[in-house]
């Protein structure tokens, strides 16, 4: 058996399994071996139902059946009840005063229950047990895999991520069979031995045994650390390669006179913060260097990233390409492409830029899916005008329009620049070297890149996702901002909250109401059961709460045009209350909206809540944020209270990382990391080690494919999935 063999060469695989394996992206033996357990269950504390005795605090694993709700015979209080069966016996379960429990779980579900055994002999039941749903009972504890082993202290077994048609148990036994067929001897470890030694990581074969069938919890942990390192390492190698490619490419080099910049900046209706000033200086220095800049500008919502973008864009749009120097060309200054994630935002940036550039002979274009504009209009020099796409593209191509703002439409094939020297990306992750090259088209020079984000992510994640970029923080808020007054609202306090918002609306302000979902309850997801929906909540608010207000919805199922329309009307104050999903989180700017109510706040990460709250941080009026939760859990209350006290989004992101599953971490989706990789993100030392080793390796061996073919193959596979989108 070879790692590269197809599973089907060695095992009989029925159709169901085939489909399931495909979904799990497992086709070879190697894929299977690298399909690591999601977690481990410690079954040392588990009792079998058969031996339970009255008064005992019991933990059992089993399958639910007979769930229903009824009223207690005398008190008429609601009781949810059912049974759990674990293969040894069946026992009744009763939950008092929690009628909804029977609706939250379904017959046939696998669960872990922890509760007290009550009742009388022959009529025992589990009283008010806590329920933890499981994907399956992966390995029957009665045919325990540890039966034959001498260790008895640690009774842990692996639990694999499952999918329909394939159980954790099957995966586990198939892995063991591969081990029996001596596959481990044929493995070659891609990670150089020196690195393993340096960080005390087990070699591949050992790690595989330890991760799939650990005899000790420490072994599993050590093996997982190795695989986590390996995953982060490949990503870092890929980033290091991108960095090297950028360094090697030609770019535009130009110097900007500080006086020249000052003229532009002095027209802002505010003084730049020190942070903004420094970022601008750094970027201008990069423009004057010989390598194309790759820089991430990370700044909380409202920290003023647009001003940095505009000032640096100004420096570019007023510079000449090297071959144009000294010549009196009509057009042909360096060009800027500024990409925003949504039409709403692209338009907002376009409008801000018009404000900043209107005194200059610099034309600005806007390109989105629903049309194109150009500033200034020929007939009205203070206004933009609608123009055809063909016309705009012509002017971009001949260099007449030096600044082009837009959505994804910017990177279509048809868009060509004359001298694209600077690409600014707002809230768009993973804009790689390839896309940059694509934008530059035939131009042999790679444009400078500024990627801007308000997504508060922990440092380790930033180092991983943006490993190829230099990072600049805008960690200062403009002076005079009123901090948002943030309150955690329980069910008893909603009247007071609505009273307040009503008075704000009367005073001429506007409000956001954020709901976790759009419409139809998703009954398959337990978590969705009580979540408020945008559409229903808008109706309810209209009927019962803000009768005199103009209320509208905004959510992801609307077309860009519909969204745009609603946003425009909200902006014009034709709408008082905007009920929305978290789509409003990215960059929308309506200064008069000073109140935000976030329903089901416990469902959001702190960093995301912080970003939502940033929506009301735009004006001169006192802003308010209400985090509404029905959760009575002390942990949730604590967590939400951190919102009121944390100094900035980054602090909250670190909080999320430590106290919430890192899989739910903000920014995690973009990272391309597996759950294990996400776990690794908690470990700054590991991430830094992986990054240093990767940069070192790439620096030492520019031709990675020759020196480390195994690493090169893995890295190529990663960049493929990363660029798939």
Q: Summarize as ranges the residues that interact with ligand ADP (CB under 6 A).
A: 270-273, 276, 299, 301-307, 454, 478, 589, 618
| Measured distance CA(526)–CA(104) in Å, rounded | 6
Shortest distance, position 346 Cβ to Mg ion, whole Å: 11
Nearer to ligand ADP, 612 or 711 (CB): 612
Long-range CB pairs of 568-575, under 8 A, 24+ apart, other chains included? 570/510, 573/510, 574/550, 575/510, 575/550, 575/551
Shortest distance, position 716 Cβ to Mg ion, whole Å: 34
Nearer to ligand ADP, 608 or 719 (CB): 608
Q: Which does 436 bind (CB under 5 to 8 A by kind): Mg ion, ligand ADP, none?
A: none
Nearer to Mg ion, 279 or 662 (CB): 279
Q: Which does 714 bind (CB under 5 to 8 A by kind): Mg ion, ligand ADP, none?
A: none
- Which of 3, 138, 399, 587 is close enough to bind Mg ion by CB under 5 A? 587
Nearer to Mg ion, 583 or 715 (CB): 583
Asked if 273 and 479 count as a contact pair (C-beta separation under 8 A), the reply is: yes
Shortest distance, position 310 Cβ to Mg ion, whole Å: 11
Nearer to ligand ADP, 77 or 359 (CB): 359
Shortest distance, position 653 Cβ to ligand ADP, whole Å: 16
Orientation of helix 305-317 relative to helix 258-265, angle to 10°: 130
Nearer to ligand ADP, 35 or 618 (CB): 618
Nearer to Mg ion, 252 or 314 (CB): 314
| Measured distance CA(404)–CA(387) in Å, rounded | 13
Q: Which does 571 bind (CB under 5 to 8 A by kind): Mg ion, ligand ADP, none?
A: none
Shortest distance, position 654 Cβ to Mg ion, whole Å: 22
Q: Which does 671 bind (CB under 5 to 8 A by kind): Mg ion, ligand ADP, none?
A: none
Shortest distance, position 302 Cβ to ligand ADP, whole Å: 5
3-state secondary structure of 190: coil
DSSP letters, 286-328, are HHTSSSPPEEEEEE-TTS-HHHHHHHHHHHHHTS--GGGTTS-
- Residue 516, interface with Mg ion (CB under 5 A)? no
- Residue 458, interface with Mg ion (CB under 5 A)? no
Q: Which does 301 bind (CB under 5 to 8 A by kind): Mg ion, ligand ADP, none?
A: ligand ADP
Q: Which does 270 bind (CB under 5 to 8 A by kind): Mg ion, ligand ADP, none?
A: ligand ADP
Q: If you search the block for the tokens 């980033």, which residue do you land on?
A: 239
Nearer to ligand ADP, 302 or 667 (CB): 302
3-state secondary structure of 147: coil
Which residue's Cβ has the minimum distance to ligand ADP? 304
| Sign of the torsion angle spanned by Cα atoms 593, 595, 597, 602 | positive
Asked if 578 and 570 count as a contact pair (C-beta separation under 8 A), the reply is: yes
Nearer to Mg ion, 112 or 615 (CB): 615
Q: Which does 589 bind (CB under 5 to 8 A by kind): Mg ion, ligand ADP, none?
A: ligand ADP
Q: Which does 478 bind (CB under 5 to 8 A by kind): Mg ion, ligand ADP, none?
A: ligand ADP
Shortest distance, position 347 Cβ to Mg ion, whole Å: 13
| Measured distance CA(429)–CA(635) in Å, rounded | 32
3-state secondary structure of 442: coil
Contacts for 373 with CB less than 8 Å, ≥ 6 apart: 350, 365, 366, 384, 385, 386, 387
626: left (phi over 0), alpha (psi -120 to 50) or beta: beta
> Cis link prior to 376 (omega < 30° from 0)?
yes
Q: Which does 299 bind (CB under 5 to 8 A by kind): Mg ion, ligand ADP, none?
A: ligand ADP
Contacts for 75 with CB less than 8 Å, ≥ 6 apart: none
Shortest distance, position 342 Cβ to ligand ADP, whole Å: 13
Shortest distance, position 301 Cβ to ligand ADP, whole Å: 4
CA atoms within 13 A on the CB side of 576: 19
Shortest distance, position 725 Cβ to ligand ADP, whole Å: 24
3-state secondary structure of 367: strand
Burial tier of 154 (Cβ tally within 10 Å: 0-12, 13-18, 19+)? middle
Burial tier of 662 (Cβ tally within 10 Å: 0-12, 13-18, 19+)? buried
- Residue 614, interface with Mg ion (CB under 5 A)? no
Burial tier of 670 (Cβ tally within 10 Å: 0-12, 13-18, 19+)? middle
Nearer to ligand ADP, 451 or 589 (CB): 589
Q: Which does 610 bind (CB under 5 to 8 A by kind): Mg ion, ligand ADP, none?
A: none
Token pair listed for 78: 């609601």
> What number of helices (H) and strands (E) belong to the chain?
27, 22
C-alpha separations of 272 from 276, 311, 644 in Å: 6, 11, 27
Nearer to ligand ADP, 304 or 458 (CB): 304
Shortest distance, position 436 Cβ to Mg ion, whole Å: 21
Shortest distance, position 558 Cβ to ligand ADP, whole Å: 23
| Sign of the torsion angle spanned by Cα atoms 601, 606, 611, 616 | positive
Shortest distance, position 348 Cβ to ligand ADP, whole Å: 8
Asked if 17 and 44 count as a contact pair (C-beta separation under 8 A), the reply is: no
Residue 75 dihedral angles phi and psi, to the nearest 5°: -75, -15
Nearer to ligand ADP, 299 or 402 (CB): 299
Nearer to Mg ion, 399 or 587 (CB): 587
CA-wise closest residue to 556 among 594, 611, 515, 614: 515
Shortest distance, position 348 Cβ to Mg ion, whole Å: 8
Q: Which does 304 bind (CB under 5 to 8 A by kind): Mg ion, ligand ADP, none?
A: ligand ADP
Judged by CB under 5 A, how many residues of this single chain contact Mg ion? 1
- Residue 406, interface with Mg ion (CB under 5 A)? no
Nearer to ligand ADP, 138 or 304 (CB): 304
Q: Which does 302 bind (CB under 5 to 8 A by kind): Mg ion, ligand ADP, none?
A: ligand ADP
- Residue 299, interface with Mg ion (CB under 5 A)? no
Interface ranges with Mg ion (CB under 5 A): 587
């Amino acid at each position: 058996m070879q790692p590269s063999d197809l599973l089907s060469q060695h095992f009989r695989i029925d159709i169901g399994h085939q489909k399931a394996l495909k979904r799990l992206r497992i086709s070879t033996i190697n894929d299977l071996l690298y399909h690591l357990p999601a977690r481990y269950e410690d079954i040392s504390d588990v009792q079998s139902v058969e031996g339970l005795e009255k008064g005992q605090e019991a933990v059992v694993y089993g399958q639910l059946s007979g769930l229903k709700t009824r009223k207690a015979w005398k008190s008429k209080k609601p009781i949810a009840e059912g049974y759990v069966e674990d293969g040894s016996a069946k026992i009744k379960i009763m939950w008092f005063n929690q009628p909804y429990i029977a609706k939250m779980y379904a017959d046939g579900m696998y669960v872990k229950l922890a509760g007290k055994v009550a009742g009388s002999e022959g009529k025992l039941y589990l009283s008010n047990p806590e329920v933890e749903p499981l994907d399956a009972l992966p390995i029957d504890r009665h045919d325990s895999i540890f039966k034959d082993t001498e260790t008895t202290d640690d009774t842990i077994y692996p639990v694999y991520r499952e999918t329909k048609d394939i159980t954790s148990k099957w995966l586990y036994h198939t892995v063991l069979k591969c081990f029996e067929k001596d596959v481990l001897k044929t493995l070659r470890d891609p990670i150089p031995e020196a690195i393993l030694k340096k960080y005390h990581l087990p070699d591949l074969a050992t790690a595989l045994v330890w991760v799939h069938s650990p005899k000790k919890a420490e072994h599993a942990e050590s093996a997982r650390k190795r695989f986590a390192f390996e995953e982060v390492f490949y990503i870092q190698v890929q980033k290091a390669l991108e960095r090297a490619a950028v360094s090697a490419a030609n770019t535009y080099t130009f110097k900007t006179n500080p006086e020249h910049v000052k003229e532009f900046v002095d027209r802002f209706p505010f003084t730049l913060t020190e942070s903004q000033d420094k970022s601008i200086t750094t970027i201008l220095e990069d423009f004057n260097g010989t390598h194309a800049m790759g820089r991430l500008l990370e700044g909380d919502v409202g920290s003023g990233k647009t001003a940095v973008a505009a000032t640096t864009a100004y420096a570019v749009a007023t510079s000449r390409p090297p071959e144009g120097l000294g010549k009196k060309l009509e057009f042909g200054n360096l060009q800027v492409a500024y990409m925003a994630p949504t039409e709403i935002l692209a338009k907002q940036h376009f409008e801000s830029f018009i404000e900043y550039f209107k005194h200059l002979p610099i034309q600005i274009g806007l390109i989105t899916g629903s049309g194109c504009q150009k500033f200034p209009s020929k007939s009205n020099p203070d206004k933009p005008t609608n123009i055809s796409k063909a016309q705009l593209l012509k002017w971009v191509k001949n260099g007449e329009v030096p600044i082009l703002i837009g959505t994804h439409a910017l990177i279509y094939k048809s868009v060509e620049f004359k001298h694209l020297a600077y690409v600014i990306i707002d809230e768009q992750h993973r804009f790689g070297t390839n896309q940059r090259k694509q934008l530059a088209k035939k131009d042999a020079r790679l444009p400078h890149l500024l990627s801007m984000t308000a997504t508060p992510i922990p440092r380790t994640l930033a180092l991983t996702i943006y490993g190829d970029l230099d990072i600049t923080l805008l960690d200062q808020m403009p002076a005079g901002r009123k901090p948002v007054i943030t309150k955690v609202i329980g069910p008893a306090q909603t009247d007071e909250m609505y009273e307040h918002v009503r008075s704000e609306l009367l005073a001429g302000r506007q409000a956001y109401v954020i709901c976790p979902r759009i419409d139809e309850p998703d009954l398959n997801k337990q978590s969705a059961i009580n979540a408020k929906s945008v559409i229903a909540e808008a109706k309810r608010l209209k009927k019962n709460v803000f009768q005199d207000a103009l209320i509208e919805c905004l959510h992801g199922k609307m077309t860009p045009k519909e969204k745009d329309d609603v946003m425009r009307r909200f902006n014009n104050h034709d709408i008082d209350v905007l009920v929305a999903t978290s789509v409003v989180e990215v960059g929308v700017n309506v200064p008069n909206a000073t109140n935000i109510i976030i329903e089901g706040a416990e469902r959001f990460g702190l960093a995301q809540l912080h970003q939502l709250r940033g929506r009301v941080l735009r004006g001169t009026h006192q802003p308010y944020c209400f985090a509404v939760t029905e959760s009575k859990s002390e942990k949730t209350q604590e967590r939400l209270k951190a919102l009121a006290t944390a100094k900035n989004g980054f602090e909250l992101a670190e909080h999320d990382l430590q106290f919430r599953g890192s899989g739910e971490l903000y920014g995690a989706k973009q990272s391309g990391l597996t759950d294990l990789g996400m776990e690794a993100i908690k470990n700054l030392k590991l991430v830094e080690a992986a990054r240093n080793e990767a940069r070192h390796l790439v620096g030492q061996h520019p031709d990675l494919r020759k020196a480390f073919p195994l690493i090169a193959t893995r890295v190529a596979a990663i960049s493929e999935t990363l660029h798939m989108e």
